[in-house]
Amino acid sequence: MGLTAEKVSGTGRGVAAVLTAGCLWGSVGVFVRILDGMGYEPLTIVFVRMAMAFIIMFAALIILGKRDLLRIRLKDIWCFIGSGGSCALLLNLFLSISTVMNTLSLAAILLATSPVFVVLLSAPIFHERITPVKVQAMVIAFAGCVFVSGAIGNGAVFSAPGIVIGLIAGVGIAMNSIFLRFGLNRGYSPLTVSLYSFGFGSLLSAPFTNYALIAFTISDAPLNMTVLLLLHTLCTLLIPYVLFAYGMKVLDTGKAAIFASVEPVAASVLGAIIYSEIPAPINVFGIALVLFAIVLLNIPGGLRTLLRK
């Protein structure tokens, strides 16, 4: 009985961690728009946030006496290169471009295709079952993201290149989840996996970075610009990435990806608050669908159980 309660408690913390990560990721568009206006190109944005995240986490582990978490086996280094590469060059790069080319909500909905890729890839790679409840929650969550984005009912005009870029970002987050799972399955802590993902991600994006702009921001620009870079790193990468990795420690890969689909809801709320992009009733309906999908994922039997009541 106690073991079961402990497992349930751990699962609950995992769900809370992934939901929090999704909400924080919903703020990425706000930071990217500001940095884009300051002249930051996508790969420079990626390098700054990943390098700062690596430095902050590395220093924190040293100060807290957690040096054992810095150790990795050479034979497992491909997990961290894959995680960092997919995070830097697929997810972050293409998400940054998508946020500039599309509306915040459209960029979020294209990213919301990632659970589909995650569930389909996790089945053959990790032998995670594609259950009816997962399929139901995935379909409902995606439908909700469509409504949240405003793709239906407002005559929005779409850019084909923008949509392709957004879908690549969705594939990027799926591949990132897969490599994260490889690292966790080899016994590494979520902190270790996150640290080296940041490190290799920054190394891979380093050749394409505008260092003169970074130097200007840190040395000559007002202090609030440096604070902005720090907040961008903490809110959109370091904290949510660690939370998501922790959530995956106790949840299967597909479920974690579906729970993280709360991101477009957060993006829409922030868009309303900051840019006065007030959601229409159809957008609110989409938000309700995403939240319903998250609740559904926690109900054994899914829709079948609800319809019986």
Residue 271: the pLDDT is 77
Residue 2: pLDDT over 60: no
Residue 5: the pLDDT is 54
Residue 235: pLDDT over 70: yes
Beta strands in 209-248 (DSSP E): none
Contact 28, 266 (CB under 8 A): no
More confident of the two residues 60 and 104: 60
Domain ranges of the chain: 14-308
Residue 38: the pLDDT is 85
Percent of the chain with pLDDT over 70: 91
- The 10s digit of each residue's pLDDT in 18-58 is 999 989 988 888 888 888 888 888 889 889 999 999 999 99
Radius of gyration of the chain (CA): 19
Give the other-Cβ count within 10 Å of 76's Cβ. 14
Q: What are phi and psi of 186, to 5 degrees?
A: -90, 10
